[in-house]
Amino acid sequence: MRGRKQKPTAVKLYQGNPGKRPLNRHEPLPPIGAPECPAEVSDAARVEWDRIVADLTQLNMLTSLDRAALAAYCEAYAMWTEAITAIHKFGTIVKSPTGYPMQSPYVSIANRQAEIMLRIGSEFGFTPASRSRISAPPEPAPTLFDYAEFNDEEEDS
């Protein structure tokens, strides 16, 4: 599929629909909630999982359907940190079996995992640019009915 990614219907409703294109009224809306961490992820990935899930849960951005994508992101992060640690230990240039200098294989591993992290992370809004494309509705201003209910509660006390 070419072109820009399609915006979710909820985002179109918040931002308006200037093109007046038909909205998908039957878009699936899975229940919001943190998925369980898969048992298969490594310990380093589990630490990242706990950190990310806490933030995404607070923003109401997670559903059970996000489990696999988030696990892939966390594993990519764990492999990236392992490769970066090896780069710091051995350097970016190592000797080949024939004695010539060559790029460390850890550099290509780190670069590939960083690409994966950025691609999956942009789906969750982990980068400043991807967050700028997400529109969250502002907190609704209190109405006169809210004030009336508040006053009724005070009188009952």
Measured distance CA(107)–CA(143) in Å, rounded = 57
The token pair at 155 is 């009188």
Q: What is the pTM of this model?
A: 0.73
Residue 54 included in any domain: yes
Domain extent at residue 112: 9-136
Is the residue at 21 inside a domain? Answer: yes
- Answer yes or no: is 147 within a domain: no
Tell me which of 4-13, 25-34, 60-69 is least confident. Answer: 4-13
Determine, yes or no, domain membership for 14. yes
In a domain, 152, yes or no: no
Looking at residue 52, what is its pLDDT?
Answer: 94
Number of domains in the chain: 1
- pLDDT, averaged across the chain: 84
**Three-class SS of the chain:** CCCCCCCCHHHHHHHCCCCCCCCCCCCCCCCECCCCCCCCCCHHHHHHHHHHHHHHHHCCCCEHHHHHHHHHHHHHHHHHHHHHHHHHHHCCEEECCCCCEEECHHHHHHHHHHHHHHHHHHHHCCCHHHHHCCCCCCCCCCCHHHHHHHHHHHHHC
Residue 120 maps to a domain: yes
pLDDT tens digits, one per residue of 59-107: 888 888 999 999 999 999 999 999 999 999 999 999 999 999 999 999 9
Confirm if 83 and 106 have CB atoms less than 8 A apart: yes
